[in-house]
């Protein structure tokens, strides 16, 4: 079992503080959901965990099994077991999806112990089948000309190939129709189990109909304001966010406002 601990995390971008003390503990074998309206800091949390160059952690800590994640370069975080499925993955011309994936898989292995090409292709093919991806997606340039839905599936393909200890999924459901949502959820559910923990960031409950979370956290004004089980997400689906705002005396839930 592994444990990802975030303690009193403060993050700013261009001198503006977005996260104001996030504390969160995720064990492998758990799926957490972070929910909240737009502009409350959800994606900032995802970016800060992975080490996005534009986000600056001003205080607090992130550790994975006690190891200081914040001291690690981005690639070291990945090798320590973190993964971020991005909302807007970069397009990289001239680098095929398969070459990119193989570099990622081999980066986790010792030199001289690279995955054999045949084994890699077999594994990629089987995962692509689960995600109902077209065969040519392997040989196309990374994300170039991919539709929104293709990009999301491609992020989950990477997740399934790289098998991290902890995955952060940043709005993986945005822009997906119901069929694609089911396919993507199916891929994530296949990962579920011993040795895998997940933090799902979303502002719709919809995705959680297919991936049942163990815990749901509501984020407003850069802080977690409420935590509950999957029933919390269902309540949000029916009643929206207003009851939480009323309960906590929050008028404007976005970052920059104070309760």
Partner 1 sequence: MTVETTLALTEQDVRSYSAKVEEAAWMADFRSNALAKAEVLEMPTPDKTKITKWNFTEFPSHTVESSIFAGLEEMPTEAKALIDDEQQQNIYVQHNNTPAYLSLSEDLKSQGVILTDIFTASREHSELLQKYLMTDGVKVDEHKLTALHAALINGGVFVYVPKNVVIEDPLQVLFIHDNEEASLFNHVVIVAEENSQVTYVESYLSTMEHAETQANIVSEVFAMANAKIVYGSVDVLAEGMTTYVNRRGVTGPHARIEWALGLMNDGNTISENITHLVGDGSSSDMKSVVVGRGSQKQNFTSEIVHWGLDTDGFILKHGVMKENSSAIFNGIGRIAKGATRSNAVQESRILMLGERGRGDANPILLIDENDVTAGHAASVGRVDPLQMFYLMSRGISQEEAERLIIHGFLAPVVSKLPIAGVRKQLTEVIERKVR
Give the footprint of partner 1 on this chain (CB under 8 A).
50-53, 73-75, 77-79, 83-84, 86, 89-90, 92-95, 99-100, 103-104, 107-108, 141-142, 158, 162
Pick 22 or 82: Cβ nearer partner 1: 82
Going by the DSSP 8-state scheme, the letter that residue 114 receives in this structure is: P
Pick 65 or 252: Cβ nearer partner 1: 65
Q: How far is the CB of 78 from partner 1 (least distance, A)?
A: 4
Pick 73 or 238: Cβ nearer partner 1: 73
**18 within 8 A of 197, measured Cβ to Cβ:** no
Pick 77 or 152: Cβ nearer partner 1: 77
Alpha-carbon distance of 157 to 152, in angstroms, equals 9
Going by the DSSP 8-state scheme, the letter that residue 204 receives in this structure is: -
Which is it for strands 223-228 and 215-220: parallel, antiparallel or unpaired? antiparallel
Q: How far is the CB of 109 from partner 1 (least distance, A)?
A: 10
Is the Cα dihedral 111, 96, 127, 85 positive or negative? positive
Q: How far is the CB of 111 from partner 1 (least distance, A)?
A: 12
Alpha-carbon distance of 259 to 251, in angstroms, equals 7
Enter the tokens of residue 109. Answer: 């292995």
Q: How far is the CB of 99 from partner 1 (least distance, A)?
A: 7
């Amino acid at each position: 079992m592994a444990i990802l601990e975030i303690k009193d995390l403060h993050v700013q971008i261009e001198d503006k503080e977005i996260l104001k003390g996030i504390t969160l503990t995720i064990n492998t074998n758990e799926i957490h959901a972070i929910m909240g309206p737009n502009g409350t800091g959800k994606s900032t949390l995802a970016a800060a965990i992975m080490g996005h160059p534009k986000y600056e952690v001003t205080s607090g800590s992130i550790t994975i099994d006690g190891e200081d994640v914040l001291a690690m370069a981005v690639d070291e975080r990945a090798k320590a077991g973190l993964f971020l499925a991005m909302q807007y993955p970069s397009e990289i011309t001239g680098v095929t999806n398969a070459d990119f994936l193989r570099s990622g898989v081999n980066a986790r292995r010792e030199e001289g112990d690279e995955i054999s090409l045949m084994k890699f292709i077999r594994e990629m093919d089987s995962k692509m089948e689960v995600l109902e991806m077209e065969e040519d997606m392997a040989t196309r340039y990374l994300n170039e000309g991919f539709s929104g839905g293709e990009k999301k599936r491609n992020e989950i393909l990477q997740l399934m190939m790289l098998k991290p200890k902890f995955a952060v999924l940043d709005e993986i459901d945005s822009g997906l129709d119901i069929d694609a949502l089911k396919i993507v959820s199916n891929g994530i559910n296949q990962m579920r189990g011993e040795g895998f923990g997940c933090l799902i960031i979303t502002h719709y409950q919809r995705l959680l109909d297919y991936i049942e979370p163990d815990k749901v956290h509501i984020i407003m004004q850069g802080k977690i304001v409420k935590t509950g089980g999957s029933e919390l997400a269902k309540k949000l689906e029916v009643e929206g966010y207003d009851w939480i705002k009323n309960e906590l005396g929050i008028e404007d839930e976005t970052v920059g406002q104070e309760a």
